[in-house]
Structure 1
Amino acid sequence: MDKNKEKRPSFVKRFLRQTPHAITMLFGIIVLVSVLTYILPAGSYDRVLLNGRNVVVPNSYKIITSTPIDFLGLFKAIPLGFKSAADIIFVVFAGAIMFAFMEKSKAVENSVGTLLKKMGFGRKHLLIVIFTFIYGFLGVAVGYENNIAMVPIAAVLSLALGGDLILAAGISVGAMTIGFGLSPINPYTVGTGHKIAELAMFSGYGLRSVLCFIALSSMAYYNVRYFKKITKNPEKSLGKGLDEEGISLSKPIQEYSVTANNWLVLSIFLMGLAVIIYGVFNLNWYLIELSAVFLIIALLCGIVSRMGATLMSETVLKAVSLAAPGAFMVGFATTIKVLMEMGNIGDTISYNLALLLQDMSLYTSAISMAVSQSVINFFIPSGSGQALATLPVMLPLGETLGLTRQTTILAFQIGDGISNLVNPTLGGLIAMLAMCRVPLDRWLRFIFPMVLVLLLMSCVALIVAVATGYN
């Protein structure tokens, strides 16, 4: 056998090695969307107000006057994207500032170091599995952007275990994205979908829970497998050259202990998280309030750690400088959403994808519905926004094809949830990767094989749903 052929990398690996830089990739999409405004007709559905939200009226699509994006408009959309994403951009800065103060106090480092000292390095793989499920549970039960402050802790843990920042993103960002995207109680996708479909809230949770658990288990296995690979051969690490300043352990593991001041800092952090969770679920808090609480936590941590005014000021500017590339990516990615709105082609894409499903078989239509929602997710990255824009069209279409409403919502959730792992227009994903200091192009190289596995699992779930008349 030819040894060169035997060692030749797979098509997927060759494809991923050619992944362009994140800025190049996003600018290419920005140009593509601008070109599409000249090719696709502008169109719009009628919308009605339902429970305070604009919902699409089925069979109301109509062609409207085209509004193609000219050369100047393309570049005007970039600052408009930053303006639209201001809330997410600032939460990246606020989260980075908060973590920088906690890092200065050594509370996180000492806590992780002490945990490893007590559990021992012989349980590295178990720790990766446990923390993958912890972050997955946060995604299931708490939400997505609400958990941004937890991401840097995974970075400290991963480096302490001998992993890299890519593994940290797998443990935290990967698990939270899967947990949130496939959550049986996701209020933004499943909840909104059930309201539109007039089904009992979060009904059909059995199949969704099984799919979510299997997906998180697969992510845990994938993380352990990657960790084993880079431990055996550090040259295969996708995290080579990434900035690890301030998040790696600075002394031998045996020397770690948690001081009284560390406990105080951690208590402030945990109380802040409790306040955030209460505010999210009871007071409709979102990114602005989260940013405010992050800054309050940072200030209190600086005070109890007896930092002087100069040190606190330097810590803020250092944190901002480290978070700036990720914050820039959030605004740059949001440009795509702005261009879609300027060109009025979002509804046109949704309408034509729905037309493609009409002549398909039952099983094929269910899977194709999930694929079409994945495509739409790149143009409407908001879960609830996508539900309001597409489900009023997809639900009647699904019933015409012979799909239950529950199956249509499952296909929508799968398409939205799994594509979130690789969606460059999703501000929350870009923000969390920024907190791990992981560029989008390296993340895509890491997570893409996992996305293929999850899509295969999801197709099986949809086949089961169709076969059983899932309701």
Structure 2
Amino acid sequence: MSTNEQAQPQRKKKWYRTVPDPMVLIFMILLATYALTFVVPAGEYERVEQGGRTQVVPGSFQYLSDVDPISPFGIFVAVPRGLNEASLYLFIVFIAGGLFHILQRTGALENAIGVGVNKVGVERRNVIITAGTFIYGFFGVAVGFENNIALVPIAVLIASAIGCSSLVGTTMAVGGIGVGFALSPINPYTVGVAQGIAELPTFSGAWLRTLLVVSALALLSLYICKWVVKMDFEEPDDTKAMSKSLDEYRLSRRDKMILGVFVLGLAAMLVGVFTQGWYINEIAGMFLLIAIVIGIVNGLSANEIVKQMMEGASKVTPGALVIGLAASIQVILSEAQIIDTIVHALSSLIQGIPGALAAIAASVVQGVINLFIPSGSGQALVTMPILIPVADLIGMSRQLMITAFQVGDGLTNLIVPTSGGTLAMLALGRVSYEKWLKAIMPFMGLVYALCWVGLVIGHYVGY
């Protein structure tokens, strides 16, 4: 070692370089959750059926004394149970992984993206990132969260075409979908359910949510262009780059047929989602059908289609297993019956706080609750019957309480390990949960600050 090298002080690793492997991180959270079951007493709210939905009865919380503690061995039993509970997400990840492997092997998607980026100009990278972020944000606003899982690999390929890593593409897709879904003015799973409970007109008060979602997507676009693109992680990026220079790409007749099948399949999926109530199983079935038809159009035999589907599924297996491990956290919480106790304690914190600050506090509380109840509609059904009367008592409008709930519930979907949809998208983007946290956490601070300013303004203008 030279004298100069010896004289150089050792660099202290930045905090985002010290996050453990995602499996280790989630297992640590699982252990912490297990420890929590010995500190937090079991409890439950009374629930009633109203309009076909199960809702919590405000003021009905009571502690339970007949719940047996979970044995240490129960931690390990929770893992296969979590895999079973998360089977919907596991299967759609495997099938979508197979679909995009077949699609990428045809070269049609790469050719289309190469032609498109070449026309726009790779030097206009920031324009492409911004447009992509807003397009994915629109899908989050209009279509939902989990329904967009299959679109993530497209963003990864677009990022590759403009000389960026899979992290940039995944942040563009998952971040855009997540922000769009979180702050959507027309989100039926959160806004629709919550406004029904609060007896407000469906999707009323859309102006503030529209301002928030547009501002947040603009902030995300700027963040990706100025920060994510320049992030220099130690982990190598194993995403396959574009195989040719941009000016060499052409779309053949077969490419157009394959892309037509893919687009028609996605259109059919959206029709099913909006008109037939399709969810994960139906969407996964449609992906499987699209994969088979694309394979046939590409001249593959049945054996070759199966082989390529298996190859694609194998590449997303690590991410799929992370989803199952994360689901075991919910298994422990449910078996110990402490979710309602946590909701009751956190809801009590909001009472007695002045209106503007209460809106911020409510968003924080909802964000914490989202770790334990990752379903947006499920969280609305549990917390809104409790928090709407609290809003009335402290002088906060019901509309503002719902927006605070939406901010807290929706944005934390981007980081909580119990969000199966997020983990599924990360698996398809080939970005580990560890790397994702390093990239997205600074943005979370910025977007929360933006939304809190919006909530305070909303309070003072009588929203």
* Conserved? CA contact 1:164–1:239, under 8 Å: no
Aligned match of 2:283 = 290
Which deviates more, 114-123 or 430-439?
114-123
* Conserved? CA contact 1:336–1:425, under 8 Å: yes
Aligned match of 1:244 = 239
Deviations 1:248-287 (A, max 9, x none): 2111222100111111111111111111111111111100
Q: Work out the CA distance in 1 between the residues paired with 2:228 and 2:364.
A: 31
Deviations 1:363-422 (A, max 9, x none): 222111110000000010000000001110011011111111001101100001111111
* Conserved? CA contact 1:165–1:436, under 8 Å: yes
- The Cα shift of 1:312 comes to 1.9
Normalising by the residue count of structure 1, what TM-score does the alignment of the two structures yield?
Answer: 0.94
Which deviates more, 253-262 or 14-23?
14-23
For structure 2, the residue ranges without an aligned partner over 5 or more in a row are: 1-6
Q: Work out the CA distance in 2 between the residues paired with 1:78 and 1:311.
A: 34
Change beyond 3 A, Cα 1:443–1:60: same
Amino acid at match of 2:248: E
Q: Work out the CA distance in 1 between the residues paired with 2:437 and 2:44.
A: 33
Q: Work out the CA distance in 2 between the residues paired with 1:238 and 1:438.
A: 12
Aligned to 2:215, what secondary structure does the other structure show?
helix
Aligned match of 1:44 = 44
Which of 446, 451, 461 aligns to 2:444? It is: 451
* Conserved? CA contact 2:164–2:229, under 8 Å: no
Matches within 5 A, 1:249-268: 249-268=242-261
Which of 298, 304, 307 aligns to 1:305? It is: 298
Amino acid at match of 1:179: G
Matches within 5 A, 1:18-417: 18-65=18-65, 66-226=67-227, 229=230, 236-238=231-233, 240-245=235-240, 248-417=241-410
- The Cα shift of 1:341 comes to 0.6
Coordinate RMSD, CA, aligned = 1.6
Amino acid at match of 2:238: D
For structure 1, the residue ranges without an aligned partner over 5 or more in a row are: 230-235
Normalising by the residue count of structure 2, what TM-score does the alignment of the two structures yield?
Answer: 0.95
- The Cα shift of 1:227 comes to 5.6
* Conserved? CA contact 1:151–1:432, under 8 Å: yes
Amino acid at match of 2:421: G
Aligned residues: 454
* Conserved? CA contact 1:67–1:344, under 8 Å: no
Aligned match of 2:4 = none
Which of 440, 451, 468 aligns to 2:461? It is: 468
* Conserved? CA contact 1:166–1:238, under 8 Å: no
- The Cα shift of 1:316 comes to 1.4
Ranges of 4+ aligned residues in structure 1 off by more than 3 Å = none
- The Cα shift of 1:185 comes to 0.6
User: What percent identity do the matched residue pairs reach?
Assistant: 39
* Conserved? CA contact 1:42–1:67, under 8 Å: no
Counterpart check, 1:15 vs 2:15: yes
Aligned to 1:149, what secondary structure does the other structure show?
helix
- The Cα shift of 1:210 comes to 0.1
Aligned to 1:441, what secondary structure does the other structure show?
helix
* Conserved? CA contact 1:37–1:67, under 8 Å: no
